[in-house]
């Protein structure tokens, strides 16, 4: 893809160390990027952005640029990898890309970039450009993922592909009777090789080229189907095959698959001419661009509305347009028209199809038009007769033929032109002479009319003015009348007001009365307010008295408390004991001040010391007695008492009272036992006793005597009493102060009451006082207010009255004036009305002349005159040119007629150079030489799309800017090799070849690419051709249901089916008005289907016999038709005998070859699948299936698409031969039965159902 | 001949299911004609270029489109040719339109000029059954014996001049003089010289397995199994063969 570039982008460039090292490795100097600041032409590929979002790119240098950069050729294209950091290009690595990898793919952009060493950021335009690019890897991955779903097709075809050529001898080679096949026996092959033979191509030593394809290899016998174009050679070389050597090869098939794979690869690499192709093919909603604005097309063919829509849609579409073409709807006409329209626009079109036959059919029906230069590209031997004239070596001849034809026609036409010209000129002049005066008189009439029009316009203007005036007067009068009404109303209102005011002003109340009333009410209000104050004061006085009484009670209470205290003071003097003091303190709530606490503690301590002293005294007595006792006992036993005493006293110890008690108890017990005589015990006891005695003595020494403590306690008690007495005194003083306080407050209260009592005395009310004084005051105030308002109203009414009386006077005057004005206006109106009547009369008198229309007539006549004059000029010119043109064309004719190959050679070359409609098969469009010659097309039209697999379709699609698909998904899907898809699948399952994706594959095959695109495209990008011109309408009715879900219903475009589709035959079975028949074979064993032993295909002998009879009958009928002059003597009725089953077709053909001679018929046989795309006058369909097995199996016949094809081949007459019960009642699926039932219903309706001829049974 | 028949029989009946019902040799008549042709020699010149030179000579033409309409030739072709002629200075554009240069005039004259050549005599072979015209083979083809039956469906046909002319024109050129070509302009006479008889060997065959009757005919002139003859016989006789066999069986 070459794009034109204008902009040069600029970017600074820096290199990482890795990159620098790589450059040195390649022997490139860093500086070479910057030499002369000359820009480089590079291909930019974007990579997914880094984590930090910086742009990552590869700049690929093509061969020439790499050479410039490196200063030498490198083995590939140099790729500079870099990222844009801080908007500067940092080169991170350099690599070499293999030279064969494509440059300029859709994922790349070719741009001109200049590098520099500055620190400036790269141009924003460059960054934006890269930002907008889709990363190459993502795009490529997307395609790879989607295209994976198409792999299935290739997988089927690739089964067992990988085998080398097999060369072997054979012992015997047998040609079939018609040289269509050969059978080889005695081949030396390994067992494994036998299995791989099917579908391999076959070469025989002694014959150049592939002779054919293996169709069967079993029982050591190989059957080969010969290619048509090889038959001649084989017939010649049949005797010369001495070497008996054969080579089996799958090279052809492999190279085909390789091309299909290459198509996948190219799409992945982004090598489609239309950069959106992948998305259009794979996205659920194909993202097609909106159509271009419509333009007026001049159609060369006569097209119906649907065909016109298809052609203009296809011309307007930018990228994809899909045409759904049911049988016989003129697809080729549409293709032809599109090719022509493209040619006129200078566009080059590729017409591709799956098979050579379809390509040739399409090209053969294209127009012979000088604008269209058709070239058929492909292997000459596989091109059919129709396409042959368009191959390179024949296009010169083709061009000559059609140019000669055109020129001859023109030349001959012009030869008769001269006399015609003379007479035309004469006629022209006569007509001119006649027409001229007519035109002049018409011109005068127009002038008169113009005058009248001017007069009329004046009158109209005056009339309009008068009418305006009248309208103005009317408006004025209306206004005056309205004004009078208003005035009368105003007067009435005023009178009313005056009446009201008079009522007010005339009442008895006046200003004096109002003042008196006001004074009276004010006085009463004063009285009531005094009473109100008195009541308040009396209340206050009562409150004060109550307060004084309370204070007196308080004072008495305080005096009593003082008395009580004084009594308690007396009691204190008499108390003798501490307990008594404590009780008194509690009773009188005496606070325990420190002096009291001290006294109490002192008394307590003294009591304790006295107790201890008594106790020690007691212990001393006991221990002393014990010592005496023990000393007495011990001394005789030799215990040294003094020593013991001394020892004990030398170690003083302390003992508690409890311990002493315990010891004494223990001692007493010991001394009661025999131990009392043990000196050691006694010694120890004695030691212990001394120690305890010593301890007690020491403790006793610390205490005073008991008498001293008693004396001390007496002193403490007196002190305590004194302290208490002080406290009492203090309390008493407090109580007295309280009493004094109350007394003072009582005095104050009594003084405060005196003025209140005085005021009360003054205010004591004299008159009658109501209970609720407040309400009475409020009421009086309200009365006062009303009175004031009334007084104001009284004053206002007086003023108003004066004003209204004045107004009344004025208005009355105005009313009088207005009445005069109305009378004046009436007079004016009358005058204007008279004027209007006068104008109208004047205008009416002009009406006749105005309504005449000489202009149109004049225009017509003038135009005619001009065209006559123009025609005369061109006739004169033609007259002048004629001999010259004739002489030149004559010369041209002579040259053309005498032209030989040499003369046409240049033309042939030019024709090829300027060829604008190229036809080839899908697969051939991917051949290398084709790609080299035709890398891309403006438009690619693919015909019979539904018959090609997606991988096949992809190949031509890759080459087109715009793609137009033509097909019909209600007809049969692609064949794979010789087999239908179902057969292939069945075989694969039987082979148990481990093909696991069967289910996936079935899904894939269930819906075609065409169907999906057709369904998902917006309405603007698709059309169904809904008018068919092939079938008699009766026949068409059988297939209508297959298209009933489409937007448009299938219609018959033949105006009179019975006349235009008359088959002309009349026989016992078939009558002239039969166009649709079903010869019903009974569902009985005698008519059942049969299977060849060992074969998989079915046949039906009963149907064969029936068809034999039918054909004989038709042959006779054709002979009769010729005798009756309905058919030309040389004419042959074209008949197709077709069947769902290959074996039946084989037997039909044998029957035709061997048992029948039908000189008036041109009979062709074939399977329904093979007949797709063909048409015949009459079709006989042998349905074969007829059985009584439980499943009601009807095999391939259940596919509605196959039935559709079978039913839609006939133009004039369709005869079904088969069991209606089998298909409409016994078939397994309900919808299958319904499908055939519809056919049967239409047949019955057309009176075409016939029972099997009994004579033929 | 016998040897050939044996070999052919073997080949025809190589299939064990096939039996030879009948075998016969007969003669196919082909007619030899003596033809005289007139020839001219002229400069090889592209037809369109010649026409354009003529046109420019005759008329003032400025636009390729004018010529395209007149000659019913695509404008592109005319533009291409005009470019080429301008480049080679055969024509030039002046005020009125294209005009021939001196070189152009000279060239056109040469293109028109035809040198009359000696008339040539040639022989052709015509097979009416095949509607085929051919030059006599160099190698010797066996002439059928007098005694042989002629082909039973032989037809008489009249030769067509154009077909003969095409056949002779399509012969490879003799000594190719630089830039010149020799053109057969007319057939001046065409006289039947003789009738030759090509021996043909016919096998009537039956394939038991397929229940098929068919014919094989070896044409010794073309040294091949002759489809045309086989089909002609089959179309007329196969049903008869079947009837005969059924009769025999009964």
Q: Render pLDDT for A950-977 as a digit per residue (tens, 0 to 9).
A: 889 999 999 999 999 999 999 988 776 5
pLDDT at A923 over 50: yes
Per residue in A547-583, is it b (16+ CB within 10 Å) or e — as a string? ebeebeebbeebeeebeebeeebeebeebeebeebbe
Q: Determine the Cα–Cα distance for residues A1145 and A1160; give it in Å rounded to an integer.
A: 21
Q: In chain A, which residues have their Cβ closer than 8 Å to the Cβ of B226?
A: 235
Q: Render pLDDT for A761-793 as a digit per residue (tens, 0 to 9).
A: 777 776 777 778 888 888 888 888 888 888 888
Kindly report the nearest CA distance between residue B236 and chain A, in angstroms: 8
Interface contact flag, A178 B214, Cβ < 8 Å:
yes
User: CA nearest B80: which of B46, B57, B110?
Assistant: B46
Q: Render pLDDT for A263-306 as a digit per residue (tens, 0 to 9).
A: 888 888 888 888 888 888 888 788 888 998 888 888 888 899 99
Q: Render pLDDT for B37-63 as a digit per residue (tens, 0 to 9).
A: 888 888 888 888 889 898 888 878 888
Q: Render pLDDT for A214-264 as a digit per residue (tens, 0 to 9).
A: 988 888 899 999 988 888 888 888 777 878 899 999 888 888 888 888 888
To 5 degrees, how large is the angle CA B110–CA B115–CA B121? 145
Section A1113-1133 average pLDDT: 94
Kindly report the nearest CA distance between residue A244 and chain B, in angstroms: 13
Q: Render pLDDT for A352-390 as a digit per residue (tens, 0 to 9).
A: 998 898 899 888 888 778 788 999 998 888 888 888 999
Q: Who contacts A809 (Cβ-Cβ below 8 Å, separation ≥6)?
A: none
Own/partner pairs, B226-234, CB within 8 angstroms, 24+ separation:
B226/A235, B226/B200, B227/A179, B227/A231, B227/A235, B228/B129, B228/B130, B229/B28, B229/B129, B229/B151, B229/B200, B229/B202, B232/B129, B232/B153, B233/B153, B233/B202, B234/A1153
Q: Determine the Cα–Cα distance for residues B222 and A493; give it in Å rounded to an integer.
A: 138
Classify residue A859 as exposed, middle or buried by CB count within 10 Å of its CB (0-12, 13-18, 19+): exposed
Residue A91, helix vs strand vs coil: strand
The domain A262-393+916-1021 having CATH identifier 3.40.50.12160: the answer here is no
Q: Render pLDDT for A427-454 as a digit per residue (tens, 0 to 9).
A: 888 888 888 888 888 888 888 888 888 8
| Confidence band, pLDDT 50/70/90 cuts, at residue A3 | very low
Q: Determine the Cα–Cα distance for residues A107 and A129; give it in Å rounded to an integer.
A: 13
Interface contact flag, A888 B47, Cβ < 8 Å:
no
Chunked mean pLDDT (size 10), chain B, 250 residues: 88 88 92 90 85 86 83 88 90 86 88 82 91 81 81 88 86 70 84 90 92 93 91 91 87
Domains A164-258 and A1033-1251 fall in the same CATH topology: no
pLDDT of amino acid B175: 58
Domain ranges of chain B: 2-37+119-249, 46-110
Q: In chain A, which residues have their Cβ closer than 8 Å to the Cβ of B77?
A: 907, 910-911, 914
Interface contact flag, B46 A1157, Cβ < 8 Å:
no
Interface contact flag, B234 A895, Cβ < 8 Å:
no
In chain B, positions 155-174, which contact chain A (CB-CB < 8 Å)? 169
Highest mean pLDDT among A128-132, A422-426, A1003-1007, B25-29: B25-29
pLDDT at A27 over 70: yes
| Confidence band, pLDDT 50/70/90 cuts, at residue A741 | confident
Q: Determine the Cα–Cα distance for residues A879 and A873; give it in Å rounded to an integer.
A: 10
Mean of per-residue pLDDT scores for chain A: 85
Tell me, yes or no, if B134 comes closer than 8 A to chain A by beta carbon. Answer: no
Q: In chain A, which residues have their Cβ closer than 8 Å to the Cβ of B74?
A: 370-371, 373, 914
CB B27 within 8 A of CB B154: no
Q: Determine the Cα–Cα distance for residues B237 and A221; give it in Å rounded to an integer.
A: 32
Tell me, yes or no, if B231 comes closer than 8 A to chain A by beta carbon. Answer: no
Q: Determine the Cα–Cα distance for residues A830 and A834; give it in Å rounded to an integer.
A: 7
pLDDT at A1004 over 70: no
Kindly report the nearest CA distance between residue A1134 and chain B, in angstroms: 18
Tell me, yes or no, if A1092 comes closer than 8 A to chain B by beta carbon. Answer: no
Choose among B46, B70, B225: nearest Cβ to A888.
B70
pLDDT of amino acid A1255: 43
Kindly report the nearest CA distance between residue B44 and chain A, in angstroms: 7
Q: Determine the Cα–Cα distance for residues A1250 and A1081; give it in Å rounded to an integer.
A: 9
Q: Who contacts A8 (Cβ-Cβ below 8 Å, separation ≥6)?
A: A39, A112, A113, A114
Kindly report the nearest CA distance between residue B199 and chain A, in angstroms: 16
| Confidence band, pLDDT 50/70/90 cuts, at residue A308 | very high
User: CA nearest B78: which of B46, B109, B125, B104?
Assistant: B46
Tell me, yes or no, if B17 comes closer than 8 A to chain A by beta carbon. Answer: no
CATH number of A164-258: 2.40.10
The structure tokens 């302009």 sit at B185
Q: Who contacts A105 (Cβ-Cβ below 8 Å, separation ≥6)?
A: A136, A269, A270, A271
In chain B, positions 171-230, which contact chain A (CB-CB < 8 Å)? 181, 183, 205, 207, 210-214, 222-227
**Direct distance between the N- and C-terminal alpha carbons of chain A, in angstroms, rounded to an integer:** 69
CB A926 within 8 A of CB A259: yes
Section A581-591 average pLDDT: 79
CB B216 within 8 A of CB A239: no
The structure tokens 């002479």 sit at A433
pLDDT at A184 over 50: yes
Residue A997, helix vs strand vs coil: coil
Q: In chain A, which residues have their Cβ closer than 8 Å to the Cβ of B210?
A: 177, 1150
Tell me, yes or no, if A888 comes closer than 8 A to chain B by beta carbon. Answer: yes
Residue A743, helix vs strand vs coil: helix
Calculate what percentage of chain A has a pLDDT beyond 90. 24
Q: In chain B, which residues have their Cβ closer than 8 Å to the Cβ of A410?
A: 72
Token pair in block for residue A477: 């009068």
User: CA nearest A969: which of A910, A1021, A892, A1024?
Assistant: A1024
User: CA nearest A33: which of A84, A75, A68?
Assistant: A68
Tell me, yes or no, if B244 comes closer than 8 A to chain A by beta carbon. Answer: no
**Direct distance between the N- and C-terminal alpha carbons of chain B, in angstroms, rounded to an integer:** 37
Q: Render pLDDT for A1183-1220 as a digit per residue (tens, 0 to 9).
A: 999 999 888 788 888 889 999 999 999 999 999 999 99
Q: In chain B, which residues have their Cβ closer than 8 Å to the Cβ of A371?
A: 74
Q: Determine the Cα–Cα distance for residues A657 and A258; give it in Å rounded to an integer.
A: 128
pLDDT of amino acid A642: 80
Q: In chain A, which residues have their Cβ closer than 8 Å to the Cβ of B235?
A: 1157
Give this prediction's pTM: 0.67
Helices (H), A1101-1158: 1101-1123, 1142-1154
Return the number of other C-beta atoms located less than 10 Å from residue A935's C-beta: 10
Choose among B47, B214, B234: nearest Cβ to A904.
B47
The domain B46-110 having CATH identifier 1.10.10.10: the answer here is yes
Calculate what percentage of chain B has a pLDDT beyond 90. 28
Interface contact flag, B8 A902, Cβ < 8 Å:
no
Kindly report the nearest CA distance between residue B235 and chain A, in angstroms: 7
Q: In chain B, which residues have their Cβ closer than 8 Å to the Cβ of A898?
A: 183
Q: How is B23-77 classified by DSSP, letter by letter? A: EEEEEEEEEEEEEEEEEEEEE---HHHHHHHHHHHHS----HHHHHHHHT--HHH
CB A288 within 8 A of CB A1021: yes
Q: Render pLDDT for A593-630 as a digit per residue (tens, 0 to 9).
A: 788 888 888 888 888 888 888 888 888 888 888 888 88
Q: Render pLDDT for A617-670 as a digit per residue (tens, 0 to 9).
A: 888 888 888 888 888 877 787 777 788 888 877 877 788 888 888 888 888 888
Largest CA distance in chain A: 207
CB B27 within 8 A of CB B217: no
Interface contact flag, A1153 B212, Cβ < 8 Å:
yes
CB A383 within 8 A of CB A854: no
| Confidence band, pLDDT 50/70/90 cuts, at residue A324 | very high
Interface contact flag, B74 A373, Cβ < 8 Å:
yes
Q: Determine the Cα–Cα distance for residues A75 and A59; give it in Å rounded to an integer.
A: 17
CB A130 within 8 A of CB A57: yes
Q: Render pLDDT for A341-351 as a digit per residue (tens, 0 to 9).
A: 999 899 999 99
Q: Determine the Cα–Cα distance for residues A1237 and A1245; give it in Å rounded to an integer.
A: 12
Q: In three state form, how does the secondary structure of B186-212 look?
A: EEEEEEEEEEEEEEEEEEEEEECCCCE
Q: Determine the Cα–Cα distance for residues A363 and A370; give it in Å rounded to an integer.
A: 15
Interface contact flag, A370 B73, Cβ < 8 Å:
yes
User: CA nearest A210: which of A223, A226, A186, A199?
Assistant: A226
pLDDT at A521 over 50: yes
pLDDT of amino acid A1148: 95
- Within its chain, how far is the Cα of A634 from the centroid? 129
CB A505 within 8 A of CB A798: yes
Tell me, yes or no, if B121 comes closer than 8 A to chain A by beta carbon. Answer: no
pLDDT of amino acid A1257: 45
Per residue in A175-197, is it b (16+ CB within 10 Å) or e — as a string? bbbbbebbbbbebebeeeebebb
For testing contact with chain A, the best of B72, B79, B83 (most A CBs within 10 A): B72
The upper half-sphere exposure of residue A512, i.e. CA atoms within 13 Å in the direction of its Cβ, equals 1
Kindly report the nearest CA distance between residue A1154 and chain B, in angstroms: 6
pLDDT at A932 over 70: yes
Kindly report the nearest CA distance between residue A175 and chain B, in angstroms: 8
Interface contact flag, B58 A178, Cβ < 8 Å:
no
| Confidence band, pLDDT 50/70/90 cuts, at residue A312 | very high
The domain A1033-1251 having CATH identifier 2.40.30.10: the answer here is no
Q: What is each CA distance from A709 to A148, A581, A682, A706, in whole angstroms? A: 127, 20, 40, 5
CB B91 within 8 A of CB B104: yes
Q: In chain B, which residues have their Cβ closer than 8 Å to the Cβ of A1155?
A: 239, 242
| Confidence band, pLDDT 50/70/90 cuts, at residue A1106 | very high
Q: Render pLDDT for A468-515 as a digit per residue (tens, 0 to 9).
A: 888 888 888 888 888 888 888 888 888 888 888 777 766 667 777 878
Q: Which residue has the higher pLDDT, A1029 or A989?
A: A1029
Interface contact flag, A239 B8, Cβ < 8 Å:
yes
Q: Determine the Cα–Cα distance for residues A641 and A638; give it in Å rounded to an integer.
A: 9
Q: Determine the Cα–Cα distance for residues B120 and B131; give it in Å rounded to an integer.
A: 24
Classify residue A419 as exposed, middle or buried by CB count within 10 Å of its CB (0-12, 13-18, 19+): exposed
Interface contact flag, B225 A235, Cβ < 8 Å:
yes
User: CA nearest A1180: which of A1106, A1120, A1232?
Assistant: A1106
Domain ranges of chain A: 8-133, 164-258, 262-393+916-1021, 595-703, 1033-1251
pLDDT of amino acid A983: 65
Section A84-95 average pLDDT: 85
């Amino acid at each position: 893809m070459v794009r034109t570039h204008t902009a040069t982008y600029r970017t600074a460039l820096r290199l990482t160390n890795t990159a620098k090292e790589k450059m040195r490795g390649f022997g490139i100097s860093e500086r070479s990027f910057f030499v002369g600041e000359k820009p480089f032409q590079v291909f930019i590929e974007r990579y997914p952005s880094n984590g930090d979002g910086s742009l990552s790119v590869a700049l690929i240098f093509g061969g020439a640029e790499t050479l410039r950069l490196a200063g030498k050729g490198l083995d590939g294209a140099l790729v500079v990898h870099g990222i844009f950091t801080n908007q500067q290009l940092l080169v991170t690595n350099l690599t070499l890309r293999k030279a064969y990898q494509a440059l300029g793919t859709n994922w790349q952009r070719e741009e001109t970039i200049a590098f520099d060493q500055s620190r400036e950021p790269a141009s924003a335009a460059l960054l934006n450009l890269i930002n907008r690019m889709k990363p190459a890897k993502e795009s490529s991955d997307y395609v790879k993922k989607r295209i994976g779903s198409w792999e299935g097709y290739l997988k089927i075809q690739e089964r067992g592909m990988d085998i080398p050529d097999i060369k072997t001898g054979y012992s015997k080679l047998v040609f079939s009777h018609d040289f269509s096949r050969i059978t080889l026996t005695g081949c030396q092959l390994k067992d494994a090789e036998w299995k791989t033979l099917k579908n391999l191509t076959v070469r025989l030593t002694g014959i150049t080229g592939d002779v054919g394809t293996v169709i069967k290899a079993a029982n050591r016998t190989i059957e080969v189907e010969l290619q048509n174009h090889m038959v001649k050679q084989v017939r010649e070389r049949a005797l010369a095959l001495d070497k008996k050597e054969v080579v089996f090869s799958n090279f052809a098939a492999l190279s085909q698959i390789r091309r299909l794979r290459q198509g996948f690869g190219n799409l992945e690499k982004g090598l489609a001419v239309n950069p959106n192709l992948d998305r259009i093919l794979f996205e659920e909603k194909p993202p097609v661009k909106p159509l271009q604005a419509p333009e007026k097309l001049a159609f060369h063919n006569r097209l119906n509305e649907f065909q016109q829509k298809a052609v203009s849609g296809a011309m307007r579409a930018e990228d994809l347009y899909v045409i759904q073409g049911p049988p016989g709807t003129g697809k080729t006409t549409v293709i032809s028209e599109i090719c022509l329209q493209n040619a006129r626009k200078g566009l080059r079109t590729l017409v591709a199809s799956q098979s050579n036959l379809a390509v040739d059919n399409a090209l053969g029906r294209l127009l012979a038009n000088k604008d269209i230069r058709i070239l058929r590209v492909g292997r000459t031997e596989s091109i059919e007769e129709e396409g042959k004239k368009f191959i390179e070596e024949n296009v010169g001849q083709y061009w000559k033929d059609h140019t000669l034809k055109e020129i001859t026609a023109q030349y001959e036409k012009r030869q008769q032109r001269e006399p015609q010209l003379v007479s035309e000129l004469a006629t022209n002049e006569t007509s001119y002479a006649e027409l001229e005066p007519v035109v002049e008189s018409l011109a005068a009439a127009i002038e008169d009319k113009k005058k009248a029009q001017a007069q009329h316009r004046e009158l109209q203007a005056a009339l309009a003015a008068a009418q305006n005036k009248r309208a103005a007067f009317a408006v004025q009068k209306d206004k005056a009348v309205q004004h009078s009404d208003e005035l009368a109303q105003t007067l009435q209102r005023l009178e009313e007001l005056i009446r009201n005011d008079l009522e007010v002003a005339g009442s008895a109340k006046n200003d004096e009365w109002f003042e008196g009333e006001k004074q009276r009410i004010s006085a009463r209000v004063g009285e009531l307010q005094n009473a109100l104050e008195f009541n308040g004061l009396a209340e206050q006085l009562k409150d004060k008295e109550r307060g004084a009484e309370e204070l007196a009670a308080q004072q008495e209470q305080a005096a009593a408390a003082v008395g009580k205290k004084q009594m308690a003071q007396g009691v204190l003097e008499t108390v003798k004991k501490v307990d008594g003091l404590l009780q008194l303190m509690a009773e009188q709530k005496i606070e325990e001040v420190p002096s009291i606490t001290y006294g109490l503690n002192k008394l307590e301590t003294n009591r304790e010391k006295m107790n201890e002293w008594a106790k020690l005294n007691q212990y001393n007595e006991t221990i002393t007695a014990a010592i005496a006792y023990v000393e007495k006992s011990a001394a005789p036993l030799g215990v040294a008492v003094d020593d013991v005493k001394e020892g004990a006293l030398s170690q003083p110890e302390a003992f508690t009272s409890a311990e002493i008690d315990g010891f004494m108890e223990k001692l007493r017990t010991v001394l009661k036992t025999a131990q009392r005589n043990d000196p050691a015990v006694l010694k120890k006891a004695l030691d212990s006793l001394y120690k305890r005695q010593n301890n007690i003595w020491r403790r006793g020494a610390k205490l005073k005597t008991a008498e001293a403590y008693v004396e001390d306690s007496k002193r403490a008690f007196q002190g305590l009493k004194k302290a208490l007495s002080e406290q009492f005194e203090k309390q008493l003083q407090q109580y007295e102060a309280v009493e004094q306080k109350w007394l003072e407050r009582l005095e104050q209260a009594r003084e405060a009451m005196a003025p209140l009592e005085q005021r009360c005395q003054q205010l004591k009310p004299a008159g009658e006082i109501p209970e609720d004084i407040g309400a009475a005051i409020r009421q009086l105030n309200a009365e006062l207010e009303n009175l004031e308002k009334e007084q104001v109203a009284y004053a206002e009414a007086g003023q108003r009255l004066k004003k209204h009386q004045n107004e009344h006077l004025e208005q009355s005057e105005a009313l009088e004036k207005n009445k005069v004005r109305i009378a004046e206006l009436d007079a004016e109106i009358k005058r204007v009305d008279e004027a209007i009547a006068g104008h109208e009369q004047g205008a009416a008198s002009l009406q006749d002349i105005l309504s005449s229309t000489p202009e149109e007539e004049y225009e017509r006549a003038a135009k005619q005159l001009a065209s006559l004059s123009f025609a005369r000029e061109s006739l004169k010119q033609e007259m002048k040119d004629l001999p010259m043109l004739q002489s030149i064309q004559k010369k041209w004719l002579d040259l053309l007629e005498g032209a030989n190959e040499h003369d046409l050679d240049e033309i042939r070359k030019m024709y090829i150079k300027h060829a604008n409609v190229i036809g080839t098969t899908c697969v051939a469009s991917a051949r290398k030489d084709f790609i080299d010659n035709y890398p891309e097309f403006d438009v690619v039209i693919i015909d019979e799309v539904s018959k090609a697999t997606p991988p096949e379709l992809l190949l031509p699609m890759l080459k087109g800017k715009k793609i137009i698909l033509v097909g019909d998904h209600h007809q049969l899907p692609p064949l794979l090799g010789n087999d239908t898809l179902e057969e292939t699948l069945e075989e694969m399952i039987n082979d148990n070849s481990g093909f696991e994706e069967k289910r996936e594959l079935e899904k894939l095959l269930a819906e075609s690419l065409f169907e999906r695109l057709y369904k998902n495209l917006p309405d603007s990008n698709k059309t169904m051709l809904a008018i068919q011109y092939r079938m008699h309408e009766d026949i068409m009715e059988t297939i209508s249901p297959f298209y009933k879900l489409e937007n448009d219903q299938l219609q018959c475009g033949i105006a009179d089916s019975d006349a235009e589709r008359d088959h002309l035959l009349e026989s016992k079975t078939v009558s002239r008005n039969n166009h649709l028949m079903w010869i019903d074979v009974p569902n009985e064993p005698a008519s059942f289907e049969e299977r060849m032993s060992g074969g998989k295909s079915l046949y039906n002998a009963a149907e064969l016999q029936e068809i034999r009879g039918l054909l004989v009958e038709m042959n006779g009928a054709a002979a009769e038709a010729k005798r009756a002059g309905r058919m030309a003597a040389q004419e042959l009725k074209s008949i197709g005998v077709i069947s769902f089953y290959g074996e039946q077709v084989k037997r039909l053909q044998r029957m035709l070859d061997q048992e029948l001679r039908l000189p008036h018929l041109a009979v062709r046989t074939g399977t329904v699948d093979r007949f797709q795309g063909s048409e015949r006058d009459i079709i006989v369909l042998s349905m074969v299936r007829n059985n009584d097995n439980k499943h009601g199996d009807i095999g391939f016949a259940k596919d509605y698409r196959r039935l559709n094809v079978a039913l839609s081949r006939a133009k004039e007459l369709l005869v079904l031969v088969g069991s209606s019960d089998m298909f409409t009642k016994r078939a397994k699926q309900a919808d299958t039965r319904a499908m055939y039932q519809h056919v049967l219903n239409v047949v019955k309706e057309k009176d075409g159902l016939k029972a099997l001829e009994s004579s033929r049974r | 001949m016998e040897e050939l028949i044996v070999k052919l029989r073997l080949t025809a009946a190589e299939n064990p299911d096939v039996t030879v019902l009948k075998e016969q040799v007969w003669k196919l008549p082909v007619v030899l004609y003596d033809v005289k042709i007139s020839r001219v020699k002229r400069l090889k010149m592209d037809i369109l270029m010649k026409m354009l030179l003529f046109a420019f000579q005759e008329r003032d033409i400025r636009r390729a489109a004018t010529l395209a309409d007149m000659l019913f030739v695509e404008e592109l072709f005319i533009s291409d040719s005009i470019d080429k002629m301008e480049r080679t200075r055969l024509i030039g554009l002046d005020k009125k339109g294209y005009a021939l240069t001196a070189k152009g005039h000279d060239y056109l004259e040469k293109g028109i000029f035809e040198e009359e050549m000696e008339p040539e005599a040639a022989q052709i072979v015509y097979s009416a059954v095949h509607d085929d015209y051919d030059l006599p083979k160099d190698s010797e083809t066996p002439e059928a014996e007098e005694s042989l039956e002629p082909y039973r469906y032989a037809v008489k046909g009249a030769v067509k001049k154009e077909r003969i002319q095409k056949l002779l024109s399509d012969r490879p050129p003799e000594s190719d003089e630089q830039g010149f070509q020799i053109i057969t302009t007319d057939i001046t006479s065409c006289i039947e010289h003789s009738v030759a008889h090509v021996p043909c060997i016919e096998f009537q065959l039956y394939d038991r397995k397929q229940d098929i009757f068919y014919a094989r005919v070896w044409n010794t002139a073309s040294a091949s199994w002759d489809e045309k003859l086989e089909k002609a016989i089959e179309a007329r006789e196969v049903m008869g063969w079947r009837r005969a066999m059924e009769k025999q069986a009964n």
